[in-house]
Amino acid sequence: MNEIKLNSEGKNYFVTDINNNNKYSRAKTDAGLDATQEQILAHYDKLGGYIHDEAGNKVKHGSFWKNENINMAKKRKQGERWLLIKKISEHPVISGLTVIVIVYIVSSFFKW
């Protein structure tokens, strides 16, 4: 059997790309070019691929995808926060106040 070994949190898991509609190849594409083995494993899990551990025990479907989904939500939330901060900091009034505060801090530091 053509098994592919993937590592997640120090444990080895095995998947296959034969007789399963190329789920491994699709998972690699879905996960992206810079995807880690854990991310590929999660996307393979999302596609319903068969995963087993080193002992041959079947891994419950959704186990890896659930964790990846949580991680992706955290990254989206963090990105939204930075976008909000960027929007606020680009506002003309905020930009002007920022300059005034910086000048005040520098002048206080050098006792101008």
Count of C-beta atoms within a 10 Å radius of residue 51: 21
Helix, strand or coil, per DSSP, at residue 8: strand
What does the pLDDT read at residue 28?
Answer: 92
pTM: 0.65
3-class SS letters over 18-76: CCCCCHHHHHHHHHCCCCCHHHHHHHHHHCCCCCEECCCCECCCCHHHHHHHHHHHHHH
Helix, strand or coil, per DSSP, at residue 7: strand
What does the pLDDT read at residue 38?
Answer: 92
Q: What is the pLDDT of residues 67-96, one digit of tens each?
A: 888 888 888 888 888 887 788 778 787 778
- Which stretches of the chain score pLDDT less than 70? 1, 112
What does the pLDDT read at residue 78?
Answer: 84
